Amino acid sequence: MDIMEEPSVSVLEFEKILNFATKGIKVFNIIKTSLNIGLFNILEEEHSCSELSKRFSIDHDVIYYILEALVKLELIEKNNGNYKNKEISNIYLNSNSYFQRKTIIESLNQPLSYWNDLENILYSKEIKYDENFFEFIIKAMAEDAVSGELQETLNIVKKYDEFKDSKTLLDIGGGHGLYAIGFKKLNPDLKAFVFDFPNVLNETKKFCDKYDSDIVLIPGNFYDDDLKGSYDVIFSSYNPGGKNAKIAEKIYESLNMNGLFINKQYFPTKTELNLDDILNNLEWNFTNFNMSNKGKIRYTFKNDLSYESYLKNLEDLGFEILDIFPINHHNASFGTTAEDKIIIAKKVR
């Protein structure tokens, strides 16, 4: 070996990749831990590092660097040696805020233990996580929804006369129920129903209580059970059956003539995947979802139709496609912004 020989590719190029990888983990843990210890609640008011060190019984130098990192991340600000939340933290990281995202951060943290165990996961046949995860994840989805997607969806739907005139609405796979709760607020005469797994509906009930809403909860599995009624509007958002021909047929059967089927759904159409897409697809394969027939690509399930085939299938069933809107919100617990669409279809025959 020639002691003077240097590598043909600069080590900096390689270090850049590793640094990008490890920095994210450190930053995420600083934010998560600061949130969990209640730092962002305390920093509604200005505090010095010494006060915070005493209050949390954390070594002065350690909390100093946590605070300085949060300043660099522009989550808090420093004035004359005192630290205080920036508005972004008061909104999203303070547990007193309506828009706080604690469950989302928990949901981002959960799969990290699988990522840390990737080597075992590669060889293990064990189920990683399954449908029981819905009970938890819908709470994160509720936090996501209220910071923009819920309002955007309601604003789209409220313009349709068919919605204004509707008396009954079913939110299939409604989860937290915020869409049904919102539709009922826009149209108080509406009788709104949420269909979901029984264990998930226990969580839905808590959201109904929080928003003082009297929506009706229907327990069941939409692959096996009847949708229990005929409805003027059927709404579906990120429902695992939202690309499935059998579920579309079930919806058609349960919809009144001239009624609307509104389907918010992710349809993968990209041919060139970026790193985020690839990581999301890989993480999706840590899940099992036996009851829902999970597919190989994120948010896809066996027997899913492609976007074009799904639309054609709706038309063949007797729907007219009134409109299709792109709706590209960041969906934190499911990865990065997806190519989501809201399909508004009317039963015409």
Residue 287 in the binding site for ligand SAM (CB under 6 A): no
Q: Which stretch binds ligand SAM (CB under 6 A): 64-72, 121-129, 137-145, 318-326?
A: 137-145
Q: Which is nearer to ligand SAM, 39 or 194 (CB)?
A: 194
Q: How far is the CB of 59 from ligand SAM (least distance, A)?
A: 41
* In the complex, minimum distance from the CB of residue 228 to ligand SAM, in angstroms, rounded to a whole number: 12
H or E segment and range at residue 133: helix 133-144
Q: Is 174 in the site for ligand SAM (CB under 6 A)?
A: yes
What six digits make up the tokens of 329? 């919100």
Q: Which stretches of the chain are assigned E, i.e. beta strand? A: 47-48, 76-79, 82-85, 168-172, 191-196, 216-219, 231-237, 255-266, 319-326, 340-347
Q: Which is nearer to ligand SAM, 196 or 232 (CB)?
A: 196
Q: Extract the tokens encoding 215.
A: 């929506």
C-beta separation of 276 from 335 below 8 A: yes
Residues with Cβ within 8 Å of 267's Cβ and at least 6 positions away in sequence, in order, are: 243, 306, 307, 310, 339, 341
- Other CB atoms within a 10 A radius of the CB of residue 63 amount to 22
CB 345 within 8 A of CB 260: yes
Asked if residues 349 and 318 have their Cβ atoms less than 8 Å apart, the reply is yes
**For ligand SAM, the closer CB: 103 or 239:** 239
197 contributes a contact to ligand SAM by CB under 6 A: yes
Strand partners, 169: 192, 233
Q: Is 268 in the site for ligand SAM (CB under 6 A)?
A: no
List CB contacts of 47: < 8 A, sequence separation 6 or more: 55, 82, 83, 84
**Shortest distance, CB of residue 340 to ligand SAM, whole angstroms?**
10
Q: How far is the CB of 311 from ligand SAM (least distance, A)?
A: 20
292 part of the interface to ligand SAM, by CB under 6 A: yes
**CB 230, CB 223: distance < 8 Å:** no
Q: For residue 149, give the DSSP letter.
A: I
The one among 66, 76, 145, 181 contacting ligand SAM by CB under 6 A? 145
Candidate segments 65-73, 90-98, 167-175, 317-325, binder of ligand SAM by CB under 6 A = 167-175
Distance CA 326, CA 283 (A): 25
Smallest distance from ligand SAM to CB 45, Å: 34
**Which stretch in 21-29, 50-58, 88-96, 192-200 sits in contact with ligand SAM by CB under 6 A?**
192-200
Segment contacting ligand SAM (CB under 6 A): 75-83, 112-120, 133-141, 335-343? 133-141
In the shown chain, the binding pattern of residues 8 to 37 toward ligand SAM, with x for contact by CB under 6 A and - for none, equals: ------------------------------
Window of 16-24, 25-33, 83-91, 194-202 that interacts with ligand SAM by CB under 6 A: 194-202
Which 235-264 residues touch ligand SAM, going by CB under 6 A? 237-240
CB distance 55 to 42 below 8 Å:
yes
Tell me which residues touch ligand SAM (CB under 6 A).
134, 138, 141, 145, 173-175, 196-197, 200, 221-223, 237-240, 291-292
